Amino acid sequence: MRRRWKLVLSIVLSVLAIGVVGAVAGTRALSHRYEAAVDRADLLPPAPSRPAGAPTEPPKVRGPMNLLLIGSDSRTKGEPGDGRSDVVILVHIPESTGHAYVISIPRDTYLPIATAEGDRGPRNKVNAAYAWGGAPRLVQTLNQFTGVTVDWPVIIDFAGIRKLTDLVGGVDVVIDKKSVDRYRFLPDDSPYMSAPCTDPQGRSRRCVAFPAGKVHLDGQLAEYYVRQRRGLPNDDYDRSKRHQQYLRALAEKLGDQNFLTDPRKLDNLVRTAAGMLTVDRRMPVQRLAFTLRHLRAKDLTFMTLPIAENRDVPGVGAVMVPDAARCRELFDALRGGRLDAYLREHPPNDVRHGR
């Protein structure tokens, strides 16, 4: 059914997908309501100075383009000192704009961090760039590492996962193997599955557990699910795959629940999703939405940054060291429009199930 839309990238591109609805349906009032709910801030590094009288480049609204999704505990405008980002996802939209490649970058990825002046600095975990210099410094760090340019960063408030998941009635995920998050302690009256564990003070507690098989996630449990990394076979690498699995499940649920054909549901969705997001002041939301209006959930391909090894670095902690040769191959393919050929040799993530 042609009007049975899939909300592209769910949280990842909800800011754009919802704009599509306003553009297609002509709901001008809804568009204004949405624009008022989205926060704006300076998320990009300062643009290079231009000679006096030189024409100003228009905001980018066509492919190829790259969006950067930054998951944060609170929407504090991506300013320095706001804390580290648990989620870093690069979304590449090729020139045709008929597909989106979603590349998760684990937060412990060990990279050269851009300095305050924008130069390459010493290595640290990639989320340190956000802690030290907000979204602009994270953008600079990834621009330097990947050799591509982030066109539009978007900050997503993690607390919004709860609201958005509950709004759609929860989502279902398939888990391969039981896991226990021994850092997530539950109250005695918690309705969620748990396992015995011990807190740092040596007291007996109950920790959140996820059984193998199909699991229904309400808002709170979804937040627990996407935040867990301890107790997973590959730690932060598996957590990145959980992020992608959740995004796919949410995108499908939004489409299945007819959120774009029911005016009341649509209004609730617009206000909920918009309240989770901070975008750059210059981001042309409505025009970007129109450009990406044809994307569907089936048009998303999920990948994770190639990692060579895990290592302990004095003064930094446990890090994930990128596979330099594979990363170079990946981003050369991205810049050259050859990602499909790259993926034939290096298959994408299967996000129909997770750890």
Q: Are 110 and 125 in contact (CB under 8 A)?
A: yes
How far apart CA 136 and CA 84 sit, in angstroms, is 14
**pLDDT above 50 for 130:** yes
Q: How far apart are CA 1 and CA 261, in angstroms?
A: 12
Give the residues across from 197 on adjacent strands.
Answer: 205
This prediction's pTM: 0.84
Residue 325: phi, psi to the nearest 5? Answer: -65, -45
Both tokens assigned to 297: 């959930």
Q: What is the pLDDT of residues 276-309, one digit of tens each?
A: 788 899 888 777 777 877 776 678 899 999 999 9
Complete domains list, the chain, with CATH: 14-45+60-160+259-345 (3.40.630.190)
Tokens read off for 192: 């969620």
Q: Scanning the structure block, which residue is given the tokens 């920790």?
A: 207
> pLDDT (tens digit, 9 = 90+) per residue, 86-124?
789 999 999 998 889 999 999 999 999 999 888 899 999
pLDDT band at 75 (very low <50, low <70, confident <90, very high): very low
The rounded Cα 349 to chain-centroid distance in angstroms is 15
321 vs 223, more confident: 321
Average pLDDT over residues 46-70: 79
DSSP letter assigned to residue 298: G
Instruction: Report whether pLDDT(3) > 50.
Output: no
- Hey, CA dihedral for 131, 132, 134, 137, is it positive or negative? negative
Q: Which two tokens stand for residue 13?
A: 């591109």
Nearest-angstrom CA–CA distance, 190 and 105: 32
Is pLDDT at 7 greater than 70 in this prediction?
Answer: no
**Cα pseudo-dihedral 139, 8, 354, 312, rounded to 10:** 0
Over residues 328-353, the pLDDT tens digits come to 999 999 999 999 999 999 999 888 88
Q: Which of 10, 101, 73 is nearest to 227 (CA)?
A: 73
Q: Where are the beta strands (DSSP E) in the chain?
A: 39-41, 65-72, 87-93, 100-104, 110-114, 120-125, 152-157, 171-175, 179-186, 194-198, 204-210, 213-217, 277-280, 300-304, 307-313, 317-322
